[in-house]
């Protein structure tokens, strides 16, 4: 990585850097570099990483094109497993909710609407948490980030699991937010063209989850 890039997050599968400025943009860009899992076969690993990187970039663009606020793509280098993208000037939702000053009804409506649009173009995010949702500082627009586990699927089951992952993230990170999550689902229902099959699958997924936690 070039010297002027500053590491802002070392994850389990990727390193995230800030590079400022970038091509005259004083806000710079975000550089996300996936690295190998050493326990995998090197050739297989390269193919898998390659595919993951292009899938992440494609899903980002597919969402943006559908009118969902996501970081703009600047450069994709599959060989180096690196994506250069817009740096969002804003805060992650997790911090905003914990701080407790924001109007959570407005937030819930925005989240439900964004997820509805995303699922309407068959993008399943794969890792919905309040750390992967941001609010822009300038216009409070809700931005979905980190499409590292995303894929395209029409299946209500996949979309339901997507929502369930977010529900679990809410209950573990933000206690007493059941009403907030219900409001997200209400907004989702009003904005999504195919909400019904997904929401009835969500009931099944929840039951399975509960059974599993009773056993575990």
Provide the 10 A C-beta neighbour count for residue 103.
8
Element (H or E) spanning 4, and its range?
Answer: none
CA-CA distance, 84 to 16, in Å (whole number)? 10
Q: Tell me if 77 sits within 8 A of 56, measured CB to CB.
A: no
* Binding partner selected for residue 79 from ligand ATP, other proteins, none, CB under the kind-specific 5 to 8 Å limit: other proteins
Query: Is 141 one of the binding residues for ligand ATP (CB under 6 A)?
Result: no
Site string for ligand ATP, 109-138 (x = CB under 6 A): ------------------x---xx------
The interface partner of residue 74, options being other proteins, ligand ATP, none and the CB cut-off 5 to 8 Å by kind, is: other proteins
Nearest distance, CB of residue 143 and ligand ATP, angstroms: 8
Give the alpha-carbon dihedral of 101, 11, 161, 184, to 10 degrees: 10
Q: How far is the CB of 24 from other proteins (least distance, A)?
A: 7
The 3-state DSSP class for residue 54 equals: helix
Query: Site mask, ligand ATP, residues 7-46, x = CB under 6 A?
Result: -xx-xx-x-x-------------x-x--------------
């Amino acid at each position: 990585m070039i010297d002027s890039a500053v590491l802002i997050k070392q994850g389990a599968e990727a390193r995230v850097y800030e590079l400022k400025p970038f091509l005259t943009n004083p806000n710079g860009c975000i550089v996300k570099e996936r690295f190998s899992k050493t326990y995998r076969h090197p050739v297989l690993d390269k193919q898998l990483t390659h595919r993951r990187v292009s899938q992440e970039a494609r899903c980002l663009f597919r969402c943006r094109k559908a009118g969902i606020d996501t970081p703009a793509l600047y450069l994709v280098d599959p060989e180096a497993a690196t994506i250069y993208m817009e740096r969002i000037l804003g805060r992650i939702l997790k911090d905003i909710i914990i701080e407790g000053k924001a109007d959570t009804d407005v937030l819930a409506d925005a989240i439900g609407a964004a997820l509805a649009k995303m699922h309407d173009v068959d993008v399943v995010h794969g890792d919905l948490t309040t750390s992967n949702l941001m609010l822009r500082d300038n216009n409070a627009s809700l931005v979905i980030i980190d499409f590292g586990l995303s894929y395209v699927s029409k299946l209500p089951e996949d979309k339901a699991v997507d929502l369930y992952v977010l529900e679990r993230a809410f209950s573990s990170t933000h206690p007493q937010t059941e009403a907030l999550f219900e409001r997200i689902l209400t907004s989702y229902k009003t904005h999504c063209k195919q909400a019904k099959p997904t929401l009835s699958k969500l009931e099944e997924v929840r039951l399975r989850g509960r059974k599993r936690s009773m056993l575990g």
